[in-house]
Amino acid sequence: MGHSQTYSAAKLTVTHTCLTCSTGASSGIGEACACQFAAAGANVIIAARRLDRLEAVQTKIQGNWPKVQVLAIELNVRNREDVERAIAGIPGELADIDILVNNAGLAMGVDPVSDIGDEAIDTVIDTNIKGLLYVSRAVVRIMKRRGSGHIIMMGSIAGMAGYANGSIYCATKSAVHSISESLRAETISIPIKVTEIKPGMVETEFSVVRYHGDKDKADNVYRGMEPMTADDVAESVVFAASRHPRCVVSEVVLLATGQASATLVHRE
């Protein structure tokens, strides 16, 4: 089931600076968002822990869209001081961030509550909730000073209903929804737009990470069905960011065709 990559050329209604900040901006949805924003004419800042892969994405963007400025930042969103230092150190006009795609997120394992290890609890909560808050806080301060901006949170349908052996991940994505609603209420007079994107089954490195590198188990997640791609999600992100200033795309729920919920999927 191959897919050729296509990139949106939507006209952005902002001043064309986008920050895609994620533990996975070096691949998957984070990379796809960076490429599609670049294709739309936005300057991009990409952030992730894996600097070598991040620099490869930077080279790709520079080669395909040479008029676009792209800055790569090595960043672990779990580290509060690292986040504050990285955001404060963004140079020149890139520091005035218009759009934040807050894409940091992961799952570790499929254990029931009784068997979840300390590392999984700490890593998932520190990344999906605390990391998201650290980055949001730093960027919202910039947007408040300017008087405008757009925060796009990467949620999940896992935040809409819990499922067996997914308690920590589901809880963190439910928290993303609550944080998005609170931020929207707090910034309606500025105005800062807040959007939550809630994807279902997307084939990226997500399942490989969840299954601790076991590619066979990860591939089995998508057995007998066609999952969405990172580009499918990125297209919705750019769509939300390119609406008229009078319009806010509050929430987007994306499901693979044949998927009705996190656990109900038709398979051939």
Both structure tokens of 162? 């819990």
Taking CB atoms within 8 Å and a gap of at least 24, the contacts of 169-178 are 169/107, 169/124, 169/128, 172/105, 172/124, 172/125, 172/128, 172/129, 173/105, 173/128, 173/198, 175/128, 175/129, 176/105, 176/128, 176/129, 176/132
211 is annotated as an active-site residue: no
**What is the Cβ-side half-sphere exposure of residue 143, based on CA atoms within 13 angstroms?**
29
134 is annotated as an active-site residue: no
Strand locations in the chain, DSSP E?
17-21, 43-48, 70-74, 99-102, 149-154, 192-199, 251-254
Alpha-carbon torsion, ordered 107, 76, 5, 248, to 10 deg? 80
φ, ψ for residue 107 (rounded to 5)? -125, 150
Active-site option among 7, 130, 134, 173: 173
Q: Name which of 169, 154, 141, 189 is nearest 263 in CA terms.
A: 169
Active-site option among 169, 198, 211, 222: 169
How far is residue 36's CA from residue 41's CA, in Å, rounded to a whole number? 9
Catalytic residues: 169, 173
